[in-house]
């Protein structure tokens, strides 16, 4: 079991890591599909579509045969619905709030591929804002989407933390790959939107099955 002494900063993914947002996303996608006279997607389908940003979600929901105009309309419908309902059903996973409390000695940040305004809104509506020093969603003018490590580098610079003193916690291979690219420690969570087998192949430093295990691992008790 690796040790994690010397860590100063913990960077968390949002969807599938801190909060379960799949139901609001599914509702927004299905609203768009209904307006386009297409069949809805089900809960078993959407989890595999998440993690690559809204554009990728729309592409997968429509199918590769959809033309540019259809994708544009779907995105418009999706954004209209989601902007009004992005936190209706989205809630923190069990143990998240308690774990963030237990990790108070560390600096903490959020980095999501979700649109920045929605990322900030979900954190705020779920009253998680006080736990974080920085909350960032997708801002293409500043950095690329994960697995591009630009967002992580931006956070390290803003909070003046060296890469070897930070850890990325996420449910996607995108999170692990972005962190590994610039030398961060990595923790994969198996309760999100990717299988434990897939995450294991990415080679994270730590794998946990529930958020409370993160605090145990950082204390050396896991």
Count the alpha carbons within 13 Å of 56 in the hemisphere toward its beta carbon.
Answer: 13
Nearest-angstrom CA–CA distance, 170 and 150: 16
**Which member of 13, 15, 171, 175 is catalytic?**
13
Nearest-angstrom CA–CA distance, 30 and 89: 15
Active-site annotation holds for 13: yes
Pairing of strands 185-189, 166-170: parallel
Residues belonging to the active site = 13
């Amino acid at each position: 079991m690796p040790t994690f002494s010397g860590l100063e900063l913990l960077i968390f993914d949002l969807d599938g890591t801190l909060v379960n947002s799949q139901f609001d996303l599914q509702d927004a996608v299905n609203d768009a599909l209904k307006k386009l006279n297409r069949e809805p997607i089900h809960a078993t389908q959407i989890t595999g579509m998440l993690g690559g940003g809204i554009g990728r979600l729309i592409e997968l929901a429509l199918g590769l045969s959809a033309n540019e105009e259809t994708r544009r309309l779907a995105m418009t419908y999706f954004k209209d619905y989601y902007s009004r309902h992005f936190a209706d059903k989205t809630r923190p996973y069990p143990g998240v709030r308690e774990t963030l409390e237990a990790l108070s000695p560390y600096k903490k940040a959020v980095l999501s591929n979700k649109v920045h305004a929605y990322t900030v809104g979900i954190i705020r509506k779920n009253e998680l804002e006080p736990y974080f020093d920085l909350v960032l969603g997708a801002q293409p003018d500043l950095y690329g989407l994960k697995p591009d490590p630009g967002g992580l580098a931006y956070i390290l610079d803003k909070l003046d933390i060296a890469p070897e003193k930070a850890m990325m916690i996420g449910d996607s291979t995108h999170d692990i790959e972005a962190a590994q690219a610039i030398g961060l420690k990595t923790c994969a969570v198996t309760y999100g939107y990717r299988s434990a087998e897939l995450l294991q192949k990415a080679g994270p430093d730590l794998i946990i099955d529930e958020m409370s295990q993160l605090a145990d691992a950082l204390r050396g008790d896991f």
